[in-house]
A and B are shown apart, each in its own frame.
Chain A
Amino acid sequence: MPDFTISPVLARLRLGSIKKRFGATVALNGVSLDVAPGEVHALVGENGAGKSTLMKILSGALAADAGSMTLEGAAYAPEGPLQARRAGVVMVHQELAIAPHLSVAENIVLGAEPGNAGFVRHAESRRIAGEALTQLGRPDIPLDVPAGRLSVAEQQLIEIARALALGCRVLVLDEPTSSLTQADTEKLFALVRRLRAAGQSVIYISHFLEEVQALADRYTVLRDGQSVATGRTTDTTIDRIAELMVGRQVEELYTRSPRQPGEVALEVHELAGPLKPVSASLQLRRGEVLGLAGLVGAGRSELLRAIFALDEVRSGSVRVGVHAGPASPLLRWRQGLGLLSEDRKSEGLALNLSLEENLTLPRLEPLIHPAALAAEARTWIEKLGVRCAGPGQAVGNLSGGNQQKIALGRLLRNGAEVLLLDEPTRGVDIGAKQNIYRLIDELAGSGKAVLMVSSYLPELLGTCDRIAVMCRGVLGPARPVAECTEHQIMLAATGANAA
C-alpha cells in the first residue's frame, strides 16, 4: 500500500500508535493519524471500531496507555477536556452542548467570557461572537435570542462558532449530519470548506461514506481498534472504503441450525413514528430469525419500540398473530411479544431490584407468593446458566453477560413467542455472546419468531435467516442471508445505493 502520510513538519496534529485497553478488552491497538492545516480528514469505521475511544483520548477525557500525540510539533497530552480546548482541539458532538436559555452570544463565549474579576464585558462578548459568526458566513444570526429557539442546524453552527472563538486549531465533528436535513447538510459542507480554506484542520467522523467522498481530502479507516488504511479520497471509491471497514474474518462463533419457517407471527405494514421510523414493512414467521441491519440512528430501535407500543405510532399497522388494533406494552406481553432493550442499564433492568423481581415483573398474579416466585426464578437461573448468589440478589451486582441472560430470560419466562431483540450481545464478553447465539438458535428451532437488531454485521450474517437494512428511517426489503454480503449491507446502510 502506498504511504499517504504527510511529513511531520506539515502535520498540525499527529497521533502515533495510540493504544488503550479497558480491563481485558483492547479498545485501541495502534492507531496512527495525522492531520495537516487546511485539511478535512475523515475518520471512518464500524460501530465498536474504536472511534469514540480515540476521540475521548484526543479530547482529554481518557488517557492513552501507549503512543504519542503532537500538536504543532509539540507534545500534546491534555489532562481533561478543558485543557484540550485551551490547546485548540475542540469537539462538536452528535448531541449538541448548547445552553438553551442563554443567548447566542453568551453561548459562543461560554467558558471563555472576556472580563476581569468575574465581571463579564458584554460588549466584548458580542464583538467576539459577531466575529465568529461572520467568519462562518452567518452574520445574520441575531446575538441576543436564546439559543434554544434556533434550529438544530443553527445550534450546531453556534457550537462551531464557539470553537472558533476559543481559537480552535483542530475541529472534530462527530457525526454532524445525523440530525440534519439534506439542505442543512449542504450548508454545513459549505461551511466546512470555508473553514478549510481559512487553514483549519477538521477531523470529520461519519458513517455516511458518500459524505466522506464529497467532503474529505483524506480518510483513515479504523477497524478493531487499529488504523488499517489511510489515503486520499480522490484515489479511492466508496466500495473500497466499505470493504476496508468490514474486512475481517468471521469466526465460528455462530450457530444456525436448518429450520423451516412457519406461519406469520408478526406483520408490520408501513409503520411510521413521529420522527423514525419513516416507513417500515416486514413479515416475520415462526421459526425464523430476521435481522435488522443499519447504522446507529437509522431508526431500528425506534421500529422495535413502535412495534412494542413503547413509542408513539403516527401511521401504519402492526399485527401480532391474530391481534391487531390498539396496543400497549401490557397488551403486547399478553399477545406473546417481548422486547429486549438495547440499554440494559437504564431501561432493560431495574438494577436495584432482585433477579426474581426483574424476571417476573411482566406477568404477576394479583396476589403474590414470594417463595414460589423465588423457586421459579431459581429454575430459570439454572436454565440460563446465570452465575449469581441467588434469586434475591440485586441484578445490578451481576456481570454484563449475566445481566443480559436475565433480561433475555424475562422474555422466555413471560411466554414471549415473538422476541424483539435490540442489540442482544451489547456489552457482553465473547463467551456470553456465544451462549446468546445458541439460545437464539434454539428458540427459533422451537418455533419462536425472532426480530433482531444489531450493529455488528458478522453477528447478523451468522445468526439470521433473512436480513433487512434500514437507512434513515426507511426499512429495505428482507433478503435471505445467503444473498447478503457485508459489503453490500454496508453500502445499503450508508445510503450509497438504494438497495
Chain B
Amino acid sequence: MPYQTLIVEDEPQVAKRIERLTHQIMGVQQEKSMCAASIAQAENILNTYDIDLILLDLNLAGENGFALLKHFTAKAAHTIVVSAQTERALEAFEFGVLDFVPKPFTKLRLEKALNRLWSTPENNSSRTKRLSFESGRGIDVVATSDILFFKGADKYSEATLKNGDTKFHGKPLNRLEHILSEEFVRAHKSYLVHQFAIRDLKSLEGSRYELHLSNGANIPVGRTRVNHVRQLIEKRAS
C-alpha cells in the first residue's frame, strides 16, 4: 500500500531533509510527499488528501507543543514526531505517536521510525495511555483505560467509554490497533475491545460467539479470533 506523507515543519532545511530521506527510505512505497510550514497549510492538506503519515515538528514557531500533539494525534494519519524537544518524548508516546525522532537525526534513525509503519502490532510495545478525539468543542483527551471498545465505522472508529459516552476517532480500527497496547484485543473485524471490559465469552448457535461486556453490551467475535480471545480470558482468570 503506497503511503502519502505530510511533513509539518517550518524550518525549510529540516523539511527538505525529512522529505529527501523519507523518499530514499520508502522508495516506491511513497506515493506522495507534501510539506506544510504552518498549521493552516497542514489543515488544508489533511482536508484534501488521504494522508497516512504525519511527520510533525512539535516546535512549530509560536505554537504550544502539547496543543500540536493533541491536535495531530486525533487525525486519521499516524504521527511520527521529529523534534528538538526531547523532553516531550514520553508525552508524545502516551498520545500514541508511532515514534519520536530527536533532532538532529540520521537516515538510519528515520528509517527505524518509518519501519514502525509496517511493523506488525504484535511486536509493538505500545505506551499509549491517552487518545485525543476531535469534537465540536475542540479536542477531548480520554485515557485509554476509560475506553471499553472501539467499533469500526467506515474510515473512522467509534469509541464507547465507561461512562456511556461515544466518541469518534479519526483513525480507522487498524491504525488504532497499531498504536494501542495489548490491553486492547481485536475480537472482530469491526471491534477492538479493552480486555478488562470483557465479562465472558458466550457461544451461540451455529458456532458463533459473542462477548459480554461489563456495560451489558454484546459484541460478536470473529471465527478466526475466538481462540485468541478465549486464551486471553483464561490467562486473565488464572
A and B found bound together: no
> What is the interface of chain A, defined by CB distance below 8 A to chain B?
none
> What is the interface of chain B, defined by CB distance below 8 A to chain A?
none
